Structure 1
């Protein structure tokens, strides 16, 4: 049995690996800083302590964990000659699937929150109270745990005799290729579970926004329509990017057929998208921008007083 694996990462890009290392390190630092800033703004400003921003803070926390599970090992592969990862390290990296699944369920919950706020505003505060919000967040984590438990156990119990993983982290497809048995049935199970989580949450989100758009179109004033739509524009952008990239990678019956494409797409999913989310919400959300300006002005005032 194999006790450690060798990650191939990007063997064709050895000449520019230091450049890639610097770019990915900068992206990782910006991702952590951006998401930590969003979380700090939400938890330190009373005007942002609403259900929408509670879910957003959880999304930012997921993004930090999501990229941290994968990016440090990728940076290590680019920087050093030794690109090995222990079997225990591979199992830890499967936490990536847990976090990714939690993010899809959370995005669906956020669409439900926007649906209630726009389509049923009079009952919003009654339905979406503190207890309901925390139960929905708990449901995200519990639903995620149940959906990824079986495939994670299966992958850890497979016999592995090939030491090389054709990827920069322990993704399901290259791990199955390293097993010394026919894994086509496991691939099908993984495909069905991925499709169940991604497509069902997408269908729920799409249905919520169908009602939202219908409600917005019935608003008489153009200014009212624009103001209402602006409250969910950031979420629509994040949903489009997240679902679009993940459907192409994971909702395919034979995920091991195009691992080169999967590597490039995985960089987008694990490194770039977590960077985009805080900037999308901070640039497109007026309340977040207003709180950010107030916080910066307050900090500058304190600095000027001390000087």
Structure 2
């Protein structure tokens, strides 16, 4: 460890990107760009459908549209720098821009964590409190819960982002394709064990408490569903939760893999590969998961398409 008194404060960092041959990087660029464009299209489609079709004007689809809006920003926070490194290799990034990326990325990640908890609460009320569901989940309550998720996420991320930004850095090359906690902390010329504990506590509380909440709510849902009289009604109740449970498994599986434990304790290459899952593939899969086997969304697509065709014929 270098003496912090001999360190200089970096004005910029260098993003190393993915280590691969030029041919592999070119193929990865094309694949990543296609996934990115499909992710933007899929999530925009969900937002437009929920807004345009009255059949999707329910609390569940409102929260799905909020999640899709979040995913648009989440994937756009890191993928453009990934595309740049794949196309041009290593490139410099101003330290201010790097720390902004770090903060926004973690803010959106924690917001998604809270939002998934809100969506589990919505499913719990719909299944376990059906007679009072619409009163409990009024439009005002929906807006308040969605807004609270964003405020909580962006507030919690201030702690790890600000602590990391105040570190003295003695090296410039970030062994990643975007600015994340672990690769940045490796560049510090001071002992970061205390920072790692604070980061782990903040991120652990945000993700862990919501995960426990989701498990508890789904435990209540399971008990309520098993008491339903017919197999058809039980299957219908489970089908309304299956998409959300799949998204929760993807999100928390990757999050726990990356952030449980000390940042920087895993090999750099492993962190990059896992980051591709939660920063690129999960936002890409979410709209597919919510629409592929969803009859209501398919019917909404047909209704909106019919309205568009009718409008064009009338012109």
TM-score, normalised to structure 2, is 0.93
Q: How far apart, CA to CA, are the structure 2 residues paired with 1:23 and 1:305?
A: 40
Counterpart check, 1:285 vs 2:277: no
1:58-91 alpha-carbon deviations (Å, 9 max, x no partner): 1001111001000001101111145221112202
Q: How far apart, CA to CA, are the structure 1 residues paired with 2:231 and 2:276?
A: 40
Question: Unmatched 5+ residue regions in structure 1?
Answer: none
Q: Counterpart of 1:76?
A: 84
Question: Unmatched 5+ residue regions in structure 2?
Answer: 1-8
How many aligned residue pairs are there? 306
- Say which SS state the counterpart of residue 68 (structure 2) adopts: helix
Q: How far apart, CA to CA, are the structure 2 residues paired with 1:23 and 1:254?
A: 29
Q: Counterpart of 2:126?
A: 117
Q: Is the 8 A contact 1:5 1:86 kept in 2?
A: yes
Q: How far apart, CA to CA, are the structure 2 residues paired with 1:230 and 1:81?
A: 45
Select the residue among 26, 42, 64 that pairs with 2:72: 64
Matches within 5 A, 1:1-307: 1-94=9-102, 95-303=104-312
1:244-265 alpha-carbon deviations (Å, 9 max, x no partner): 1111111123434322111000
Q: Counterpart of 2:4?
A: none
Q: How far apart, CA to CA, are the structure 2 residues paired with 1:257 and 1:135?
A: 39
> Alpha carbon RMSD of aligned pairs, Å?
1.4
Q: How far apart, CA to CA, are the structure 1 residues paired with 2:246 and 2:216?
A: 16
Q: Is the 8 A contact 2:78 2:178 kept in 1?
A: yes
Q: How far apart, CA to CA, are the structure 2 residues paired with 1:255 and 1:233?
A: 34
- Say which SS state the counterpart of residue 85 (structure 1) adopts: strand
Q: Is the 8 A contact 1:249 1:255 kept in 2?
A: no
Q: How far apart, CA to CA, are the structure 2 residues paired with 1:181 and 1:257?
A: 19
Q: In proportion to residue count, which structure has more helix?
A: 1
After alignment, is 169-178 or 74-83 more displaced?
74-83
Q: Is the 8 A contact 2:59 2:142 kept in 1?
A: yes
Quote the offset at 1:155 in angstroms.
Answer: 1.2
TM-score, normalised to structure 1, is 0.96
Q: How far apart, CA to CA, are the structure 1 residues paired with 2:222 and 2:245?
A: 12
Q: How far apart, CA to CA, are the structure 2 residues paired with 1:166 and 1:3?
A: 17
- Say which SS state the counterpart of residue 121 (structure 2) adopts: helix
Q: Counterpart of 2:3?
A: none
Q: How far apart, CA to CA, are the structure 2 residues paired with 1:128 and 1:62?
A: 21
- Say which SS state the counterpart of residue 121 (structure 1) adopts: coil
